[in-house]
Structure 1
Amino acid sequence: MPELGNLGDTVQPLECRVALISADRQLASDWVNALNITAAQHENPFGLRFEAVDAGAAERLVREEDKLQALIVDAGTEAGGLAAAEALVDRLHGLRAQLNVFLMAQSVFGGEGGVVSVSVRQRFDELFDRREGNFNQMFRLVQAFIARRASTPFADTLKEYVFSARDAWHTPGHSGGDSLRNSPWVGDFYRFMGEHIFNTDLSVSVQVLDSLLEPHSVIQEAQDLAAQAFGAEHTFFLTNGTSTANKVVIQQILGGGGKIIVDQACHKSVHHAIVMNRCEPVYLKSTLHPEFGIYGPVQRADIEQALDAHGDASLLVITSCTYDGLRYDLEPIIEYAHERGVKVLVDEAWYAHGHFHSELRPTALECGADYVTQSTHKMLSAFSQASMIHVQDPDFDEFRFRENLNMHASTSPQYAMIASLDVARKQMAMEGYGRLKQCLQMVETLRKAVDDTGVFRALTREDLIPAPLADDNIRLDPTKVTIDISASGYSGKEMQIKLFDQYGIQVEKTTYNTVTVLVTLGSTESKLLRLIHALKQLARSARKRPHVGTPRRLPEFTRFTCLPADAYFADTEELPLMDNGALAEKQLIGRTSADEIVPYPPGIPVLVPGQEISAQIVQFLQQLLQGQNATEIHGLIFRSDEPMLRVVKEVVRKKQGKKSGVKD
C-alpha cells in the first residue's frame, strides 16, 4: 500500500529506468533480459527496469524520459568504439548531468600497467566487461550507484536520532519542545509548528550529527554529494543565507584589502563585504530598461574595459541571473578575467536550479567560475536562509576558507536547515530534470494565457533586454515570468494588492508597470489555474484611463572621496534629507556618505560609503520619500520621523582621502 501524505495525496512507488545503449541488438537483448530477471529476484527498492536502445534513440530517451536514472553504454569491440562511446556520453551528459553512466567494453585499458585512462574514469561510474556473466553483481552495482545519489546522509541521521528519543540535557533550552508543549500560554505555538520543528532543533553537543564548521562525517558526505550534483570541486553548506556566502568568498580573496570589480546592482552583501574587508571597489554601471524600470546586466565591453584598466584587481563579482532572470553569457567574460589573473565570483542566488535542465545550462560553474554562491531556498526545496558555496578555484586554500567561513557562520546552526539542503540536493539529483520540465511547461501555459487576455503581456527575452545589451548574448531564465500590466490602467503596486486581497495570490516583485511571478518546483496546476483565472478577471475590469508613470532612473554614480571602510568607520554627523528641500540639498551636496543607501525595490544602492553626494542623488531620494506610496529606503536614519543621512565629518574626510590616495 502506498504511503499516505496529505489528504488526497499519495506517494507513487519508485521507478528507475536504466537504458543499455548498444548497436549489438542480440547482446543488448540478452543483457536486458538477464538484468530484468535479476531485478525481479532481488530486493529492488528503486524499481530498476532495464531496456535496450540504440545510439540514435538514446538522445530522445534522455530528453523525454523523466524516470531515466542510468545509462550503460556499449563501446563494442572495434578500435574506435571507446572514443565513440565517450563522445556519446559527453552529448548525453550535456543534456542531463545527473545520470549515472556505466561503460560496457571488451578492453578499456592502456598505458603502463594496464591502468584505465583518465578520460574513462572521468566519464563513467563503473566498467563492465562485454563477456560478463555475473548479472547479480552488475545489478547490485547499478543499484548501489543510484542509491548513493539518492542518499541523504545528514537528513537520515537526523531523523534516526530524533526517533531514538534521547533525553536532552543540553541546548537549546526548549529541549525538543518540552518547554512549550503543555504551557497554557505558548502551547498553541507548539501545536501550530508541530513537534518535529522542535525535536530536530538540536546542538553541536550531539556528536553523531557532525559539525557544520568542522565536518568529518555525515555533513561532509552531504556536501560531497552536493558538489557532485552541482558540478563543483567543493561545496559548503551555509545556514546564514547567500549574504554570508558572498562575504566569505570576498574575504577569502580580498581579506585585508585590495581592488574588486563589481556590478553596481549587486546584492547589498557584496557592498557590505567591501566595507568589512577594506576593499577598493571599481563599480560597473548596470543597464536600465527605460520602459519597465528593470535593471539588467553590465555591458560586456564595460567589464572588459574595467579588467584592462585595473590590472591589480583580484576579484570580479557578477550577478547571474538577475532578480528578473537575465543571465550573462559567462564563458567569454570568465575567460577574459582569468587571462588577466582575476578570480571570478558569480552570485547565482536566483539560479540554483540551472544545472538540472539542458534548456537552462550552462551554469556559472560550467563556464569556469572560481566561486559560485547559491540561495538553495529561492528556487529549490530548502528552508529559507539555506545556501551553498560551490568552489572550483585551482588555487583554493581549503584550510583558510574554513577559517573565513567560521568567522561568519553561527556556532549554533539550525539542523533542520542543513537537512533541507541535503534533501533539496537529492530531489534535484533524482528528479530535477523532470520537475523542471514540468515548470517549463507551466511557464508556456502561463505565458500564453497572459497574452490571451489582450490586456496583460508576458514579456519575452527581447522585451526585457535593454538596447545596449543587444549584442551580448544575454539569456533569460524562463521561470521568472514578468508581466507588463501597462494597458490595465493599474500600477504594479495596485495590481499586487488586488491579486492579494481579491484572489489570495502573492507575487514576487513589482515595478511601476510590471508584476513578476516565479514558477518553481512548488508550483502546481491548481495554483496556475487560480493565477490565470485572476488575471482574466482583472483584465475584464481594466481601467479606461491608463496608469501614468515613468521609471525612476538611478542617479549617476559619483566619485569616491575615500575608501568605503574609511567612510563607514569615520567620525560622522547626521544631516536632514527633507529639511525644506533646497536647504537640505545645499547642506548635503559634496559631502561623503558614510552608509549604504538602498531603495527597495529594486535593492540597488544610490549611495555607498565613501561616495560623494550630488544634487541629483538628493533630489532622487527626496522624490522617493514623497507622496502616499513612499519607497522603502534602507540605510536612512530617522530622528523624530525625520530622515537623516549619516555623512563623514569634513575634516576627517580630507585626512582619509589623502591617506588612501583618493584625490580630494
Structure 2
Amino acid sequence: MIIKKGIDKIINKNTARFFMPGHNGDKSIPLRYDITEIKEADNLRCPSGMIRLAQKNASLAFGSLHTFFLVNGSSSGLFALIMSLCKRGDTLIIDRGCHISVLNTLVFHDIRPVFIYPAHNGGFGINSAVAPEDVERAFSENPEAKGVLITSPTYYGVCSDIRRIAEITHKNGGALIVDEAHGAHFAFSDMLPQSALMLGADGVVNSAHKTLPCITQGAFLHLGTSRIDPNTALENINLLMTTSPSYLIMMSLDRAATEMQKSGRARLEKVIKKCIDLKKAVNETGRYKCLENEDITRLVVHAGYNTASVFDELDMRYNIKAEMCDGLNLVFIAKAMTKARDLARLKSALLSIAKRLPALKEGNYPPPPKTVLKMPPSLAYYGKTKTVPPTEAVGQVAARAVYKTPPCMGIISPGEVITEEIARLLTEDVTIAVP
C-alpha cells in the first residue's frame, strides 16, 4: 500500500492544511458506505429516490432551480453546461483566464471561442476581474454568440461584476455560465460576495471539494434560470460521467450541503474574522502584502522574489502547507473546516519569518502574453500535427493546450499562434504539437 503509506506520512505530522480539499482531513466518511447502484440505492444517472431528494436539498441550500451532483469534478460540469447551451460550431464569449477544461470543451464540441481578457494586477502579477464593457463589446462584434462563460472567483479570490455581466448577456439573448468552482462557500456567508446564482447566472459549477466539507471530485452543477434546459443538462452530464459513480462522493456532497446549512455560516464567520486579523498583521510587517480580494478566505500573500523561500520554510520548519506558490505569491485556502489554531500557527510563522526578510519592494509584473486565434481549436487539435521544441514553434499554430497547474489556466490553446513571448514561458524540456 505505497500510496497509503505516503499519505500517512503527511497526515500523521499534524500538518496545518491550507490546501484542498475543503473537508480538511475530517474522518466522518468510512469505506463501508462505498456501495453501488443496487435497487434501494437509487441511480445518479436518473435519480428518483434518495439521490433525487439529496439533490433537492442541495438546490434549496444554494438557491437554484435545479442542482445536480457531479462525481467527475467541476470540469465535467463545465463540459455539460457548454454542451447544453451550444451546438457544434456555435460561438461562445469566453474569459481567457478560463480553466483548461473549457479549452478542452472547445475541442471536444467544436465551439468557436471569442476570448476576452481579464484586467491585470501588476502588483501581484495575476489576472483580475473581467470588465462588463468588454463583454458588451464582444456581443456587438459577435451578435451570433450564444452566451458568455466567466471564471469568478478566480483562483486568487477575485470576483467579476456578475450581476452586470448577466444583464448584458441576457439583453443580447444569451445565457451566462459562471465557473464558480472556487466559490461554493459564497452561498453560506453574508461577509462574502453573493453567489453567482443570486446575481443572475444561468448555469454555475461549484467545486464542493475545494472549500466545503466534501471529498475530492465532488462538485455541483446548478441551473439558476430556464435558459438552460435541465433535461439537456442531465443528458450531457451522463454523457461525460462514469457509469460507476462513487457513493462516497455523493454522500459527501449531500453532507456538505446539509452541514453548511446547519453550521456553515457560524463556522465561516469565525474563520473570516481570523483571516481579516491575519491579513492586517501580515501587512503591517512591511515584508509582505496581502491581496485585497473579494473572497476574504482566499489568503494571497505576496513576498516578491522571497516568496519561494517563505513557502519552503513554512513547509520544512513549521509544517504548514500552502495551497500553492506561483513564484511571487503564496495561496492559502481557509475553509469552514479550518481550525482557529491552524490560522494562529500560520500568522505566527509568517510574522516570525518576516523578521528575517528584507523590506518588500513594490513590483509591477507584466501580464501574460495575449494570444491570437488563427483556426478553430477542434481543427487544430484533430488535424495533422508534428511535435517540436518551443523555439521551433514560434509563428506556428498550437495543436495542443499548454497550461500551468495549479491553477490550470491555459498558456496557449489549440488554434492559437505561438509567439516568441509564449515560447519563452515554456521550459526547455517542453515540446509542442503543431499542425
TM-score, normalised by the number of residues in structure 1: 0.60
* 1:501 corresponds to: 316
* 1:202 corresponds to: 35
Q: Does 1:378 align with 2:210?
A: yes
* 2:421 corresponds to: 616
| Identity of matched residues, % | 29
Q: How does 1:304-315 map to 2 (within 5 A)?
A: 304-315=136-147
Q: Deviations over 1:140-193 (max 9, x none)?
A: xxxxxxxxxxxxxxxxxxxxxxxxxxxxxxxxxxxxxxxxxxxxx89x87xx79
Q: Which one scores higher on RCO, CA 8 angstroms, separation ≥ 6?
A: 2
Cα deviation, residue 617, structure 1: 2.1
Q: How does 1:60-79 map to 2 (within 5 A)?
A: none
Cα deviation, residue 601, structure 1: 4.8
Pair 448,234 (structure 1): closer, same or farther in 2 beyond 3 Å = same
* 2:197 corresponds to: 365
User: Does the aligned pair in 2 maintain the 1:555–1:620 contact within 8 Å?
Assistant: no
Q: Deviations over 1:479-498 (max 9, x none)?
A: 11222324xxx532221111
Cα deviation, residue 459, structure 1: 3.1
* 1:414 corresponds to: 246
Matching residue within 344, 363, 379 for 1:529: 344
Matching residue within 326, 339, 344 for 2:158: 326
Cα deviation, residue 543, structure 1: 4.7
Pair 451,607 (structure 1): closer, same or farther in 2 beyond 3 Å = closer
User: Does the aligned pair in 1 maintain the 2:135–2:168 contact within 8 Å?
Assistant: no
Name the amino acid aligned to 2:339: T
Cα deviation, residue 401, structure 1: 2.2
Name the amino acid aligned to 2:244: S
Q: Does 1:279 align with 2:94?
A: no
Q: Does 1:249 align with 2:90?
A: no
* 2:387 corresponds to: 574
Secondary structure class of the residue paired with 2:410? coil
Judge which range, 504-513 or 255-264, deviates more: 504-513
* 2:23 corresponds to: none
User: Does the aligned pair in 2 maintain the 1:512–1:550 contact within 8 Å?
Assistant: no
User: Does the aligned pair in 1 maintain the 2:298–2:332 contact within 8 Å?
Assistant: yes
Pair 209,362 (structure 1): closer, same or farther in 2 beyond 3 Å = same
Name the amino acid aligned to 2:414: P
* 1:556 corresponds to: 370
Pair 613,429 (structure 1): closer, same or farther in 2 beyond 3 Å = same
Q: Which has the larger radius of gyration?
A: 1
Pair 388,453 (structure 1): closer, same or farther in 2 beyond 3 Å = same
Pair 280,227 (structure 1): closer, same or farther in 2 beyond 3 Å = same
Q: Does 1:225 align with 2:47?
A: no
Name the amino acid aligned to 2:379: D
Q: Deviations over 1:565-600 (max 9, x none)?
A: 0110111111122xxxxxx3xx42332110011134
Q: How does 1:469-508 map to 2 (within 5 A)?
A: 476-486=294-304, 491-508=306-323
User: Does the aligned pair in 2 maintain the 1:512–1:551 contact within 8 Å?
Assistant: no
Name the amino acid aligned to 1:405: I
Name the amino acid aligned to 2:55: Q
Cα deviation, residue 245, structure 1: 0.6
Secondary structure class of the residue paired with 2:127? strand
Q: Deviations over 1:300-319 (max 9, x none)?
A: 21111002211101120011
- C-alpha distance in structure 2 between counterparts of 1:329 and 1:286, whole Å: 12
Cα deviation, residue 257, structure 1: 2.6
- C-alpha distance in structure 1 between counterparts of 2:273 and 2:102, whole Å: 35
Q: Does 1:458 align with 2:290?
A: yes
- C-alpha distance in structure 2 between counterparts of 1:434 and 1:570, whole Å: 54
* 1:110 corresponds to: none
Cα deviation, residue 444, structure 1: 1.9
Cα deviation, residue 329, structure 1: 1.8
Secondary structure class of the residue paired with 1:390? strand
Pair 599,433 (structure 1): closer, same or farther in 2 beyond 3 Å = closer
Secondary structure class of the residue paired with 2:321? coil
Secondary structure class of the residue paired with 1:265? coil
- C-alpha distance in structure 1 between counterparts of 2:231 and 2:350, whole Å: 53
Cα deviation, residue 616, structure 1: 2.6
Pair 592,396 (structure 1): closer, same or farther in 2 beyond 3 Å = closer
Name the amino acid aligned to 1:644: T
Aligned length in residues: 415
* 2:22 corresponds to: none
- C-alpha distance in structure 1 between counterparts of 2:354 and 2:416, whole Å: 45
Cα deviation, residue 559, structure 1: 3.3
- C-alpha distance in structure 1 between counterparts of 2:345 and 2:163, whole Å: 40
* 1:26 corresponds to: none
Q: Does 1:265 align with 2:80?
A: no
Matching residue within 155, 179, 185 for 1:347: 179
Pair 217,294 (structure 1): closer, same or farther in 2 beyond 3 Å = same
User: Does the aligned pair in 2 maintain the 1:453–1:535 contact within 8 Å?
Assistant: no
User: Does the aligned pair in 1 maintain the 2:314–2:320 contact within 8 Å?
Assistant: yes
Q: How does 1:160-199 map to 2 (within 5 A)?
A: 197-199=30-32
Secondary structure class of the residue paired with 1:327? coil
Secondary structure class of the residue paired with 2:58? helix
Cα deviation, residue 607, structure 1: 1.4
User: Does the aligned pair in 1 maintain the 2:212–2:335 contact within 8 Å?
Assistant: yes
Secondary structure class of the residue paired with 2:81? helix
Name the amino acid aligned to 1:479: T
* 1:78 corresponds to: none
Matching residue within 318, 329, 333 for 1:514: 329
User: Does the aligned pair in 1 maintain the 2:84–2:228 contact within 8 Å?
Assistant: no
Cα deviation, residue 196, structure 1: 6.4
* 1:61 corresponds to: none
- C-alpha distance in structure 1 between counterparts of 2:272 and 2:87, whole Å: 41
Name the amino acid aligned to 1:568: Y
Cα deviation, residue 294, structure 1: 1.1
Cα deviation, residue 518, structure 1: 1.8
- C-alpha distance in structure 2 between counterparts of 1:645 and 1:355, whole Å: 41
In structure 2, stretches of 5+ residues that fail to align are 12-26
Q: Deviations over 1:335-367 (max 9, x none)?
A: 111011111101110111112222224221111
User: Does the aligned pair in 1 maintain the 2:153–2:160 contact within 8 Å?
Assistant: yes
Pair 257,197 (structure 1): closer, same or farther in 2 beyond 3 Å = farther
Q: How does 1:639-650 map to 2 (within 5 A)?
A: 642-648=429-435
- C-alpha distance in structure 2 between counterparts of 1:603 and 1:339, whole Å: 31
Secondary structure class of the residue paired with 1:394? coil
Cα deviation, residue 249, structure 1: 0.6
- C-alpha distance in structure 2 between counterparts of 1:521 and 1:601, whole Å: 22
Name the amino acid aligned to 1:613: I
User: Does the aligned pair in 2 maintain the 1:292–1:512 contact within 8 Å?
Assistant: no
User: Does the aligned pair in 1 maintain the 2:291–2:299 contact within 8 Å?
Assistant: yes
Secondary structure class of the residue paired with 2:412? coil
Pair 384,602 (structure 1): closer, same or farther in 2 beyond 3 Å = closer
Pair 458,615 (structure 1): closer, same or farther in 2 beyond 3 Å = closer
Name the amino acid aligned to 1:516: V
User: Does the aligned pair in 1 maintain the 2:193–2:295 contact within 8 Å?
Assistant: no
Cα deviation, residue 435, structure 1: 1.3
User: Does the aligned pair in 2 maintain the 1:294–1:511 contact within 8 Å?
Assistant: no
Secondary structure class of the residue paired with 1:326? coil
- C-alpha distance in structure 2 between counterparts of 1:644 and 1:460, whole Å: 37
Name the amino acid aligned to 1:482: V
Matching residue within 588, 607, 625 for 2:412: 607
Secondary structure class of the residue paired with 1:358? coil
Name the amino acid aligned to 2:335: T
Pair 417,441 (structure 1): closer, same or farther in 2 beyond 3 Å = same
Pair 234,293 (structure 1): closer, same or farther in 2 beyond 3 Å = same
Pair 409,308 (structure 1): closer, same or farther in 2 beyond 3 Å = same
